[in-house]
Amino acid sequence: MNTELKEINEIISICDAMIKQIRNDGILYSRNQEYEEYKERINSFLTSHKLMRNDYGPFAILRLLYFNNYSYTVNLSEAKAIRDTVIGLKHELFPDAFEKIFISHREKDRAQVDAFIELLYAIGIPRPTVGNDEKVIFCTSHPSTYIDNGVRNLDEIKKQFNSPDHTYFILWYTDSYFESQACLNEAGAIWVMNKKYQEILVPGFQSAKIGGLLDKQSVWFRANDKYRLNTFKQQIDTMFGIDPLTPNAWEEARDTFIAKIEELSIPTLG
């Protein structure tokens, strides 16, 4: 995945560790190992990106929250302000680099979405492994991406929407999608929170049903449109820093997907 996000994500993880310690222990001294590591890493990051400028807002905030007095204790609001500022830097500096994919769909359409996820894996989105079980794709129905046992769906969906990760949202449009209030709520949240998204229509679905659901930030396409799929694949390559498939490997995966989607959409087409 995108290596340019690795450094700033590690800094955000250190901020999370600082916040966790304050909540657990009630205190975080500025001589604390996590805080010292944070200072070292943020200095390196700001220097390498030439952001050590007094007229640059995020740097001014982080400078105010840079404590060298070892007797000083960092409070929870200060640690949160540091984290929020670092996340803001991430969104500002790397707006086109993505880490996660959220698929908004109806459970009834699981078979279609399963085929689409297999296409994403073929493109190069990594599958979860025993050594690295991080899920790049969030989808409530696919076995490799669904929510863990015992976790409430709504809580996890809210977490995905509020994550500091750069998430690309895909809306999988079928007739049943527009019959689900939960799906329409997700679409509304995507619009309200100004998320980057792509609308994909199954064969036979009438585009007029979309109406004014979302601003037309992106052009929708049909799941069996091979030319639009080619463009989509190139976008995913760029957004996720993927080494592209050879043309033959991609065309085989694409055509297999199209055949499957058309087969699964026969009732809709009828």
Which is more confident, 27 or 142? 27
Three-state DSSP class for 200?
strand
Express each pLDDT in 149-188 by its tens digit. Answer: 545 567 788 889 999 999 999 999 999 999 999 999 999 9
Q: Against a cut of 0.75, is the pTM above it?
A: yes
pLDDT reported for residue 2: 66
101, 135, 142, 208, 235 from 203: Cα distances, Å: 22, 28, 21, 14, 22
pLDDT reported for residue 210: 83
Express each pLDDT in 34-60 by its tens digit. Answer: 999 999 999 999 999 999 998 999 999
Three-state DSSP class for 261?
helix
Express each pLDDT in 202-249 by its tens digit. Answer: 999 988 888 666 665 568 999 999 999 999 999 999 999 999 999 999
Rounded to whole angstroms, the Cα distance separating 15 from 245 reads: 37
The arithmetic mean of pLDDT across residues 133-158, rounded, is 72
